[in-house]
Structure 1
């Protein structure tokens, strides 16, 4: 391995050890290539993730090696790193890295971070969620064309409600739709809005879209994963590189590109030139209101619908149905 090099960024010097270590085997991109990628997309990246806590997915030997999730910044970290105390659903706390500037991102890359999972909150007020995130989940039997059609239908509903939405590839097999929010609602309210959205989409398009949490009830339909908005949940960050041998990027795209985009081709080798040519598809995202979705949620509950099931690691919530898949539920439960 070559000796470390120093990168000057944001008034800091970030040492990059073993810069020639291969991180992505398909084309042989190295740790330094990953650093250069993040430098090339720094402006739009920070426009989305700046001042948010990060959950780090570490692959010290590259995308083909062993990995783990790291919630806590190690004690050996430099004293200039910004951290913030965050908590899990059961109340366990940890000091998470904050995406304060590009120097923080590059420090994490040097630690072997090949995945940044981003909170929907900013450090100035961790109770407020200022993004609604819709994860269109490719269930068994669902292809990318199905996801694209579901994305178009989701956008149409948002537009009908006067809500501006943006789309990105997940960096894997899915699509993510984001809405920048006015800083008025906490994670419980944003999740309630996402549940209402998913249920309305299922009502309108029952053969294509489902809001059913239990996999056995989904069939061959696109699942709108509302629980990605549950408090303390993170979603893979926009402009961030997936731990895949092809170095695929979770890339923001324009809505008019949805028909032609090939997610596997959006990599650290192609995205910088694409950004230089087309600009940032997520530039100038105006903060939106979810009042209409919360009214829809209230109507659903008033009509007798219970809350949707929560993920298993969360405590039992008020008005939540039994947390057991229907085929195993006892009769009358």
Structure 2
């Protein structure tokens, strides 16, 4: 088949030019740039519920999977006049003009640049001071199988249900799972991160054989790490319905809890997900329709503070935070010498 130089598509009432539409992005099945565009068109309503109105960080692979890649914080100066942007801060304090997913035309525009991964802010561009998503990241340590990630997810579900909250799971598109709690927009990122620390600690207490809240890798062992720092201010998380830069074009796919029990993330690709959505709908629809209160988890934060627990360590790009313990790995911490007091 002859390669086309470009196609013009009408998306969300806008004309979007897709260059090199036949370029292979995902080599396992030969999925092209245009195939990826058609995937996003097929899940338009679902993708917009997940990303609509939010700033995103683009991860670009101009030559597809296997080629070089880079994160793009700032939208290029050469862009359509209709493109929506907003000024955001990254964890180290750098301010940049980021893309806002105003409609699906913005997604297709980014895909044309080789975006294979939208890393999404937990707040709307129109209300940057309030976080409306708690994101609980079940991160596989080396040696962890997906079956253990799945088991940890159900322990998390039980905890959330005990405090009257509903969690909404999704695959990461790779080896882990995320569980989101949709929030009323009343809390800032500091409070939401504190809630995620409390959740991680409680899960580690309940299943120390399976789950850890240890920030330092040397302390985790072969356990599922609950990465609470994914909720730190200005952090982004790989977006729901976003295709991952893997050869099989796997998708970070929202699931029902019944699906968590029997699906494997490698099965969820740009070829298979549209049919699932057409048959089963959007498992996350209720998360947007029924936002929840963070108060039950903030009560857990207060309980830990009353028990004398300090804050958990922050990532190195952040300034020293109030109540934070020494930010040094235990193996490198200075041990008292014979001349020290005490």
Bin for the TM-score computed over the shorter chain? over 0.9
**1:301 is matched with which residue?**
305
> Equivalent of 2:322, from 312, 318, 331?
318
Q: Kindly state the Cα deviation for residue 50 of structure 1 after the two structures are TM-superposed.
A: 0.4
Q: Kindly state the Cα deviation for residue 332 of structure 1 after the two structures are TM-superposed.
A: 4.7
Q: Kindly state the Cα deviation for residue 323 of structure 1 after the two structures are TM-superposed.
A: 0.7
C-alpha separation in 1, matches of 2:308 and 2:226: 21
RMSD of aligned residue pairs (Cα, Å):
1.0
C-alpha separation in 2, matches of 1:176 and 1:273: 22
Q: Which moved more, 1:285-294 or 1:95-104?
A: 285-294
Deviations, residues 243-273 of structure 1 (Å, cap 9, x unaligned): 1111000001110111210111100010001
Q: Kindly state the Cα deviation for residue 210 of structure 1 after the two structures are TM-superposed.
A: 0.8
C-alpha separation in 1, matches of 2:171 and 2:249: 13
Instruction: Verify: 1:280 aligned to 2:302, yes or no.
Output: no
Secondary structure in 1 matching 2:205: helix
- Taking structure 2 as the reference length, the TM-score comes to 0.96
> Equivalent of 2:108, from 102, 106, 109?
106
Instruction: Verify: 1:15 aligned to 2:17, yes or no.
Output: yes
> Equivalent of 1:97, from 96, 99, 103?
99
For residues 69-84 of structure 1, the aligned pairs below 5 Å read: 69-84=71-86
Q: Kindly state the Cα deviation for residue 58 of structure 1 after the two structures are TM-superposed.
A: 0.2
**2:89 is matched with which residue?**
87
Secondary structure in 1 matching 2:126: coil
For residues 152-191 of structure 1, the aligned pairs below 5 Å read: 152-191=154-193
Q: Kindly state the Cα deviation for residue 10 of structure 1 after the two structures are TM-superposed.
A: 1.4
**1:50 is matched with which residue?**
52
Instruction: Verify: 1:122 aligned to 2:124, yes or no.
Output: yes
Q: Which moved more, 1:298-307 or 1:32-41?
A: 298-307
**2:340 is matched with which residue?**
none
Deviations, residues 40-87 of structure 1 (Å, cap 9, x unaligned): 001011001100000000001001110000000000011110000001
Aligned length: 333
Instruction: Verify: 1:291 aligned to 2:295, yes or no.
Output: yes
Deviations, residues 122-180 of structure 1 (Å, cap 9, x unaligned): 01111111000011010012111110000000010001100011101100000000010
Instruction: Verify: 1:202 aligned to 2:204, yes or no.
Output: yes
Structure 1: gaps of 5 or more residues: none
For residues 214-229 of structure 1, the aligned pairs below 5 Å read: 214-229=216-231
C-alpha separation in 1, matches of 2:166 and 2:312: 25
Secondary structure in 1 matching 2:187: coil
Structure 2: gaps of 5 or more residues: 338-342
C-alpha separation in 2, matches of 1:278 and 1:202: 34
C-alpha separation in 2, matches of 1:53 and 1:223: 27
Secondary structure in 2 matching 1:168: strand
**1:328 is matched with which residue?**
332
Contact in 2 for aligned 1:167/1:176 (Cα 8 Å):
yes
